[in-house]
Structures are given as C-alpha cells and as structure tokens.
Structure 1
Amino acid sequence: MSVNQTDPMIGRLIDDRYQVRSRIARGGMATVYLATDLRLERRVAIKIMHGHLADDASFKERFIQEARSAARLAHPNVVNVFDQGQDDDSAYLVMEYLPGITLRELLQDHKVLTPEQAMDIMEAVLAGLAAAHRAGIVHRDLKPENVLLADDGRIKIGDFGLARAATANTATGAALLGTIAYLSPELVTRGIADTRSDIYALGIMLYEMLTGEQPYKGDQPMQIAYQHANDTVPAPGIVNPSVPVELDELVLWATARDPEHRPRDARALLDQLLDVQRALADPSGPPPNRTMVLPSAAATAVLPGFSAAGATGDTEVVPRARHRTGPVGPATEDGNADRLQALAARRHRRGAIWLVVVVVLALLAGGAGWYFGSGPGAQAQVPDVSGKDPAAAAAQLIDEGFTVAPDNRSDFSPVVPAGQVTATDPQASTALQKGSTVTLVVSQGPRQIAIPEVLGATLDAARAALSDFSVEEPVRQFDAKDEGTVIGIAGVGGDGNAVGLSAGAEYGEQQPITLTVSLGPVPDVVGQTLEDAQSELTGAGLVGTQSGSEYSGEMEAGSVIRAQPTEQGPVTPGDTIDLIVSDGPAPVTVPDVTGQTIDDATAQLEALGLFADFDDCLNFTCAFYDWKASLPVTATDPAPGSVVAAGSTIRLSYRVE
C-alpha cells in the first residue's frame, strides 16, 4: 500500500543554492532528493534530516558525523560529500549524484553473481573501505544497500551515517544499529566495533554475492543474531559448487568468529583478494590484465614533416628543413619578369582553389549545422518526467522530439505512487538524437515485504529488523510490559490513516512505520498521601489531580483511595490521572434501640459499623435464663439521633424486672 501525498520539499530552494527536483529515497533518519546546485550548475544528491529529529541531539550529531566522516575521505570508491549546513529547521548534506542501482538491486535481479563479478565489486569496495580505515574511520553499517553501482561503471560506498572513529569502540546500546544480517559476533555480544567488524560484514556480502542468499536465516531477528554469535559461516562452495576454493577460503577468513583471526583491515583483505585473482588466472600465461576506466585520455598526433622527441614529458616538434639541390645562377631581367609572371599565375590559381575550398566548407558547415541543429542528427536531453501521469509524460517527450515506446515498463518504487512515471530508459538528462525511442518506467508502488515479528523485542532490535522500512519516531505509552518493550506496530493505509500491522503482513518497502514502546506500568499510588502521589506521578511524566474524596473505613483521611486516567484508552506522557482521596470513616447516626432486647440492639448497631457495650447482669435471677435475649434496652449513650464516627462504641442501659 502507498500513500499518495505531495512532498513539500520538492521545488524548495535550500540555502538559496540547491533547487530540489525530485525524491530519490527515504530512510529512518533522512530523505534523499535530486537537486540542482544553481551556483555550479550541476546535479547533486541532497540528504535532508527528518524535521521531527531536528530537536534530537543524538540524531543530529549522527547526521553531522556522516558529513564529517565522508568529507575526510577523498577516494574514487567513496561517495563525495560537497557541503553540509542548516536551512531553517532542516539539516542537510550535499553529495555527488550517482545515477544507477545498489548492489542489493543487482542481487534482486540476478540472484547469484559470477566469481569474476563478485571479485570486481569487492575490489572496488575494499579499495574505498581501505581509505576509510587508513583515515581511522569504521563504517559500521556495510550492506548491499550501501554499495552504489553507477551507470558509468563506477562503484562507491555510501551512507557513513553510523561511521565512528576507529578508537571509539564502546556501543552504549548501538550494537544493533547496523543491519542484523551483517552484524559481527562482537557487535552482537559486546556492542564493540572496529575495522575487523567491517571485514566480517564484507565477508557476509561476498558469501551472498556468490550464493544468492545470506548464510543465516530465522523468523526472528534474535535468531539471526544468535547464529552470528555462536555459529561459523559455511563455505559458499557448499551452496554453489562452482565457487573456487580460493574464494571459499577468503570468505571463511573474513567471517571468522574471533576478530583476531580475521584480516586486520580492508587493505589486508584487498591484498589477499588480488592474490586470489592472480591465482585464478591462467598460471601458464602472462599475468592477468586489469582493465582501468580512466576519466579522460590524451593522444599525441605526429604530423608529417615533424618528429616527436619523446613519449613522456614535453614533446619537441622539429620541422624538416627545405633546401635546393642545384647551383643558383645569376638572374637576368627577362628571367625575373618570367618568374614574376609565373608566380602571379600560381597565386591566381591558388586563390581560385581557396575560394572553392571556402565555399565547400561553408556549405558543409551549414549542412552540418542543419543536420545537428534541427535535422536528423539533432540531439536533446531526455527530460525528467518522473512523478507524472504516463500520458502527460509521453506528451512532453513527443513535444521535445522523442519517440515513446508503445509498451511501458513497470518497476517498484517506494517514493513514486503507483501508476505514475518513476523513470525513463534512457534515464533523464541523457543526450539522444531527436527521434530516439524512450521507454517509460511506471511505478507499481513500493515492493511489498513481509513484516517481521518485533512485538516483545527491544526498540533497537526492532529498528534493525525493520531496516527495509522507514521507522519513524516511536510512540511511548504506559503498559504492564517492561519498559523499552515494543508493544505495537502501525503503518499508513491507503487513506492516509494509521493502520495496525502484524507479523507476516505485507507492507510497502521504505514506507513509514511507527512503533509503540512501553514505559512500564503507571505508578501505583494507592495508600499514599495526596502530595506523595502527585510527586511520584510527576516524576513519571504524568499529572496527578484530586478529582474527589470519599469516606473510607480502610484508608486514613488524606490518603489516595483510587487512581484512574481521566481519558479512556492508553496512558501516554502528559496524561492526567484522577486521584480519589479518603475523608476517613463515614459518620453514623445513632439509632433508637430502646425497648429492643440487648441482643437485637447490639446486632443493629454492629450493622451500622458501631460497637455495643453494656454491664453484665449481677442479679441472681439472670443465672436462670438468657437475660440478653430478654431484657429490654432502656437508654443509650450517646443518645439516639447523635452523629458519631464509624467504629464508635454505644453504651446500652437496661433494667432487670
């Protein structure tokens, strides 16, 4: 399911410089947009922290940490960070824009990669990670989603949002911030990460590329975490027999449970990977060639009549010298005239030739201008039609000189509503000849993913298990469950309203999810004084208000008899708790029991919460019959009609006949 909402950031000008064009992706901390840097006239990716996290110092520090960590790295295999700042209430990070896919999308499409493909990707990732480790930075969240495969062949590591200095190894509960499938044993058991934790994650990624699956599976995140901490990753060759034994050994080395038995950093693993590549090459042939895609190439042309002095450094150009081969006789006057006439004729012929050349070149230039300007050779950039209705997108493409393919392609998109254009093939901004065919890619909405079981888990564990979704700031409420326990999970329905989710339910990828977390039970203040009860409730984030009082034979006056929420439903911070306070025992009116027997009067008084007292009968006749059941009460003290406190004693008088 998806929510058809307009993103207010699209079209906004950030910091008077970055014009937001469209949304690329949304995560738990921030949303990434495609924007134009108006100052440098280039496309960039701008990552804007969610507004509701702006006041959270820890989230803001983590966001700024990403900028600082990535900005310290200047490497072809690390996403470049250009700028970072604050615009109104929006903290933002400006990065290079890399059109392409992630390694996760590649694995979803192809399942298993060849050993050569896996090694090529690992070589690029390790090169970038080695630069990070050399700078003292641990990534801490390596996974296929953070490996970017650009359309031009570049491979880069992104998302240093969890990066820390290599010496900052204490976790304080952050051990599960990375994705559970790639967490190292030491992160699971002790919450400690260093360069070798990154190596473990890369070992799991290499296993996944070679087999098409992750080594550990489970219905619950804690089951997977338990396997990381207690089991040994199997060799990928067990699942895929075509994997060379050298790559089996590389995976087992990188995923050793004991960090001391792994490569010390990315550089060490990269060196071993290069050795494996050489070993897998033909041992009888020359060393394997490495194809390098250079950003630019230069060529030196040696023209006839010139010679190049060297292959490197400055090029020295030496013209060939012209010389005569016979004696030069004295010139006569007629000879001079003949020579001048011949020279003039040659110049005339040369001028005519140049005139023809100029005319031909002008015609060629005009024809080329027409061909490439408005004729068949004209080129134009594919416009960005994402977010539009397919009919409107096709009309715009046709207006700009392109042909639209009769059949659209479909693809999942977590940000573009179903039925709208999510991309084009070729992609936007590609320069094509007019008349070229462009295929529209129409969104099917977000990919539907089964919700894992997170009820009863801690908040950090639930966030890790829900990494495929956008987990919003949790709702906290009082509950009988222990503090910090997840007690509810909700998403957003097609009508924009909240809808409850359960384990196994299908829900859209990267769609918002809100967790409800227990604050523990509401404090029990019954029996406390009003002042003490209000103080304890205030400390828990609640408001205690006396809403009434009652007589109580059990609670002393001024003590709380009952505490109950003012509103029905869950109790959340800031709610009011109504307190009922005891007025002490209820007063009782002494009844008129005169004329009744002593036993009957006693029973009536006790039924009202009073006690009866009377003297024993000392008359000798009382020994011969039941005098309490026979003798009548003649008076009471206090007298009938008096008001006394419950539990008071009433004195009975009687007379022996």
Structure 2
Amino acid sequence: MATTSFSELERVNRIGSGTGGTVYKVLHRPTGRLYALKVIYGNHEDSVRLQMCREIEILRDVDNPNVVRCHDMFDHNGEIQVLLEFMDKGSLEGIHIPLEQPLSDLTRQVLSGLYYLHRRKIVHRDIKPSNLLINSRREVKIADFGVSRVLAQTMDPCNSSVGTIAYMSPERINTDLNHGQYDGYAGDIWSLGVSILEFYLGRFPFSVGRQGDWASLMCAICMSQPPEAPPSASREFREFIACCLQRDPARRWTAGQLLRHPFITQNSTDYGFKSS
C-alpha cells in the first residue's frame, strides 16, 4: 500500500484494547479496503516518541506471510497511530485444538513468522494466543509489536519488563535464574510452547489460572517443573513441547530447529490451517 492520508481513513468499529492502545477496524475510502488502526495512548516524551517511531519504521519493512503487515504510521493530535493488516477472524485466544494435525499446521505458521523475525534480529517479547491472529483464508499471523524490540549489538539487552507474565519464561520473571542473563529469542520460544500446549489442552497449562496474581504465577512458572503434554499425545508432540519448555534457555530449540522437528514435518498436510 502506498503512503496513505489519515483523512482517507474512516473508523468502522473498535475491535480490541490492549496494553497502551486501542485497535479499530477502519475503511480506506479511496480503495474500499479494510485495515486495523492501532492508536497508542498518551502524549509521549520526544525521546520515547522517537524510539517508537524508529521501531515502527523498522516494522514497516517486515514482510512475511505469517506476520501481520504494518502499512503506515501517523502522528495525529499527539497520538501515534499505526495502520495494520486487518485479520477478519480475530485472535486465537480461547481456541481448543485437540487434534494434532491442524495444531501442527498452525504451529508451523507461527514458527515461520518467528523464524523470520528472529533472523532479522527482532524479538517479539509478548507471544501469546491473543497476539496470534487468523483470517478467513486460515492464515495465522503474529501480531502486536507494541512491545517488540529490535536487537542489535549496539542496543541494551532485553531488560525492560514488558509482556504478559503468564507466558513469560522463568528466567525473565526471576532474574536470579540463568545468572541474570536473558535471551529474548529463547524467551519467545518458551512463550510459543506455552501457547501451543494451551491450544492442545483447551486451558492454561500451569496449575494456576493465567489471570492469577503475580505471586501465584511466579511460583507456578519459576518454582515448579515446566508443563508437559499429556501421555495421550503423540511422542512427537510431547517432545516438541519439551524442546520449547526447557527450564535452561540454552537448551531450548530455536525457531529454525523447531521447523525441522518431526511434529512439524510429519504433519505437513493442510488440515484446515493454511501453511505459508
């Protein structure tokens, strides 16, 4: 999409609210196309605004079939507004996928998007079911880069506490683990594993609810053994989840390695979720 004039956009309805922003379905009147417009709250200091604009500029270059496309950005009345690809079927939050073949298709799509982002030195930092969107073509895409950070040698490591604690890795919640080192790529893989296991089980895979208080979630995630797929699942799926949910982040598989895991490669037929 070519650069758009903000005045050409018409708000249709609100489709969601998240950390720091509200998302609207908007109509681009000249073309009749639908988009999502994320309005980021608040009047930010110049330095923060500059950093946000810099991140969004980088995200405009992201082009992958399994990542929600960022089309344009507006600085309107002191609010930063981001024009995004519209996903007409919404998020995967609350979805139950007990069959492994369609779950493998979905997982492959998310992994493909994550592999692309990680290769571009982008860590998402908030992978969770509500940030995985689907459209009527059954394409699954990673969304919400409001908290992503572009990693480069010149930048600070991932030490700002953003994201949803329920899906955070143990070493991110408790910095005493792993000698205070945090690998954002491995953190994304943990969050992916928790999300995929939740889809399979139809519930949050820890002993507490994901809306539980901070202390209960911290105990469940940091003090107990990582959750496992049940014995009734295939060996391939159980091992796949184990490769994601290693307590030691150095032992977690990368997105590239997981794309070659038998759970993904042996279920390569399209069972309802379109693969990229």
Q: Same fold (TM over 0.5)?
A: yes
> For residues 49 and 270 of structure 1, what CA distance do their matches in structure 2 show?
34
Instruction: Rate the CA distance shift 1:112–1:82 in 2: closer, same or farther, 3 A.
Output: closer
> For residues 146 and 85 of structure 1, what CA distance do their matches in structure 2 show?
22
Equivalent position amino acid for 1:47 in 2: K
Deviation at 1:99, TM superposition (A): 0.7
What SS does the aligned partner of 1:237 have? coil
CA contact (8 A) 2:102 2:270 kept: no
CA contact (8 A) 1:126 1:266 kept: yes
Instruction: Rate the CA distance shift 1:128–1:41 in 2: closer, same or farther, 3 A.
Output: same
* Runs of 4 or more above 4 Å deviation: 56-59, 277-280, 288-295
Deviation at 1:233, TM superposition (A): 1.4
1:143 aligns with 2:128: yes
Instruction: Rate the CA distance shift 1:157–1:45 in 2: closer, same or farther, 3 A.
Output: same
- Aligned equivalent of 1:261: 251
Deviation at 1:187, TM superposition (A): 0.9
1:251 aligns with 2:241: yes
Q: 2:114 aligns with which of 125, 129, 138?
A: 129
Q: 1:36 aligns with which of 24, 27, 41?
A: 27
Q: CA RMSD in A?
A: 2.7
- Aligned equivalent of 2:213: 220
Give me the TM-score of the superposition, normalised by structure 2.
0.84
1:48 aligns with 2:56: no
What SS does the aligned partner of 1:104 have? coil
CA contact (8 A) 1:140 1:193 kept: no
- Aligned equivalent of 1:165: 150
Q: Considering fraction of residues, name the structure with more helix.
A: 2
Q: 1:178 aligns with which of 160, 163, 176?
A: 163
Equivalent position amino acid for 1:276 in 2: F
Matches within 5 A, 1:69-108: 69-105=58-94, 107=95
Q: What are the superposed Cα offsets for residues 554-573 of structure 1, whole Å, 9 maximum, x if unpaired?
A: xxxxxxxxxxxxxxxxxxxx
Matches within 5 A, 1:404-419: none
- Aligned equivalent of 2:196: 206
What SS does the aligned partner of 2:90 have? strand
Deviation at 1:183, TM superposition (A): 0.4
Equivalent position amino acid for 2:6 in 1: D
Q: What are the superposed Cα offsets for residues 109-138 of structure 1, whole Å, 9 maximum, x if unpaired?
A: xx4531112111101000111110111100
Matches within 5 A, 1:249-648: 249-263=239-253, 265-272=254-261, 275-279=262-266, 289=269
Deviation at 1:234, TM superposition (A): 3.0
1:155 aligns with 2:144: no
Instruction: Rate the CA distance shift 1:31–1:290 in 2: closer, same or farther, 3 A.
Output: closer
Deviation at 1:253, TM superposition (A): 1.3
Q: 2:229 aligns with which of 229, 232, 236?
A: 236
Equivalent position amino acid for 1:157 in 2: I
Q: What are the superposed Cα offsets for residues 553-604 of structure 1, whole Å, 9 maximum, x if unpaired?
A: xxxxxxxxxxxxxxxxxxxxxxxxxxxxxxxxxxxxxxxxxxxxxxxxxxxx
Equivalent position amino acid for 1:236 in 2: A
Q: 1:64 aligns with which of 50, 53, 61?
A: 53
Instruction: Rate the CA distance shift 1:69–1:125 in 2: closer, same or farther, 3 A.
Output: farther
Instruction: Rate the CA distance shift 1:58–1:151 in 2: closer, same or farther, 3 A.
Output: farther
Equivalent position amino acid for 1:55 in 2: H
Instruction: Rate the CA distance shift 1:253–1:185 in 2: closer, same or farther, 3 A.
Output: same
Instruction: Rate the CA distance shift 1:289–1:154 in 2: closer, same or farther, 3 A.
Output: closer
> For residues 12 and 21 of structure 2, what CA distance do their matches in structure 1 show?
16
Deviation at 1:90, TM superposition (A): 2.6
Q: Considering fraction of residues, name the structure with more strand.
A: 1
> For residues 187 and 181 of structure 1, what CA distance do their matches in structure 2 show?
11
Give me the TM-score of the superposition, normalised by structure 1.
0.37
Q: What are the superposed Cα offsets for residues 382-410 of structure 1, whole Å, 9 maximum, x if unpaired?
A: xxxxxxxxxxxxxxxxxxxxxxxxxxxxx
Instruction: Rate the CA distance shift 1:94–1:199 in 2: closer, same or farther, 3 A.
Output: same
> For residues 205 and 58 of structure 1, what CA distance do their matches in structure 2 show?
34
Q: What are the superposed Cα offsets for residues 27-60 of structure 1, whole Å, 9 maximum, x if unpaired?
A: 231111111223444221111122xx12345764
What SS does the aligned partner of 2:145 have? coil
1:16 aligns with 2:7: yes
What SS does the aligned partner of 1:260 have? helix
> For residues 55 and 99 of structure 2, what CA distance do their matches in structure 1 show?
33
> For residues 19 and 269 of structure 2, what CA distance do their matches in structure 1 show?
43
> For residues 58 and 232 of structure 1, what CA distance do their matches in structure 2 show?
41
Deviation at 1:84, TM superposition (A): 0.6
> For residues 114 and 61 of structure 1, what CA distance do their matches in structure 2 show?
45
Task: Look at both structures and tell me which one has the larger radius of gyration over its CA atoms.
Answer: 1
Equivalent position amino acid for 1:16 in 2: S
Deviation at 1:63, TM superposition (A): 4.5
Deviation at 1:169, TM superposition (A): 5.6
Instruction: Rate the CA distance shift 1:56–1:18 in 2: closer, same or farther, 3 A.
Output: same
Deviation at 1:78, TM superposition (A): 0.6
- Aligned equivalent of 1:115: 100
Instruction: Rate the CA distance shift 1:125–1:87 in 2: closer, same or farther, 3 A.
Output: same
Number of residue pairs aligned between Structure 1 and Structure 2: 262
> For residues 208 and 180 of structure 1, what CA distance do their matches in structure 2 show?
15
CA contact (8 A) 1:146 1:158 kept: yes
Q: What are the superposed Cα offsets for residues 268-307 of structure 1, whole Å, 9 maximum, x if unpaired?
A: 11121xx234446xxxxxxx64589699xxxxxxxxxxxx
Instruction: Rate the CA distance shift 1:58–1:205 in 2: closer, same or farther, 3 A.
Output: farther
> For residues 133 and 145 of structure 2, what CA distance do their matches in structure 1 show?
13
> For residues 161 and 58 of structure 1, what CA distance do their matches in structure 2 show?
16
Instruction: Rate the CA distance shift 1:237–1:57 in 2: closer, same or farther, 3 A.
Output: farther
CA contact (8 A) 1:66 1:159 kept: no
CA contact (8 A) 2:227 2:245 kept: no
Equivalent position amino acid for 2:64 in 1: H
CA contact (8 A) 1:49 1:63 kept: no
> For residues 70 and 30 of structure 1, what CA distance do their matches in structure 2 show?
17
Q: What are the superposed Cα offsets for residues 625-645 of structure 1, whole Å, 9 maximum, x if unpaired?
A: xxxxxxxxxxxxxxxxxxxxx
Deviation at 1:215, TM superposition (A): 2.7
